[in-house]
Amino acid sequence: MFDTRHIKSFHEVVRTGSYSAAARVLGYTQPAITQQMRALERDVGTPLFTRVGRGLRLTEAGETLARHAAVILDDMSAARQQMNSLTRLRAGRVRVCAFPSANATLVPEAMALLAAGHPGVGVELLEDEPPESLRRLVRGECDITLAFTYPGSHEDVPDEVLEVPLMEDQLLVLLPAGHPLARRRAVRLADLADERWIAGCPRCRVNFLHECAEQGFAPDIAFTTDDNLVVQSLVAEGLGAAMMPGLVLNFLRHPKVAGRALQPASRRRISAYVLREHLRIPATALVLGELRTVAANKIGC
pLDDT for 104-142, tens place per residue?
A: 999 999 999 999 988 888 889 999 999 999 999 999 899
Helices 30-44, 4-16: crossing angle, 10 deg rounding: 110
The whole-angstrom separation of Cα 15 and Cα 1 is: 23
* Cα gap 7→48, rounded to integer Å: 12
Indicate whether 258 pLDDT > 80: yes
Kindly give the pairing relationship between strand 220-224 and strand 196-199: parallel
CB atoms within 10 A of CB 156: 7
Amino acid code (one letter) for 280: R
Reported as a pLDDT band with limits 50, 70 and 90, residue 283 is confident
Residues 17-26 pLDDT 10s: 889 999 998 8
**Which three-class secondary structure state does DSSP give residue 53?**
coil
* Cβ contact 45:2 at 8 Å: no
pTM of the model: 0.70
Pairing of strands 267-275, 144-149: antiparallel
Res 213 pLDDT > 90 = yes
**Cα–Cα distances in Å, from 286 out to 7, 15, 22, 184?**
37, 44, 43, 42
pLDDT of 119? 86
CA distance 94 to 285: 10
Residue 232 in this model has a pLDDT that exceeds 80: yes
b vs e for 216-225, b when ≥16 Cβ sit within 10 Å of the residue's Cβ?
Answer: eeebeeeeee
Q: pLDDT digits over 93-110, tens only?
A: 889 999 999 999 999 999
Instruction: Output the CA torsion sign for 23, 26, 27, 28.
Output: negative
Pairing of the two strands 121-127 and 161-176: unpaired
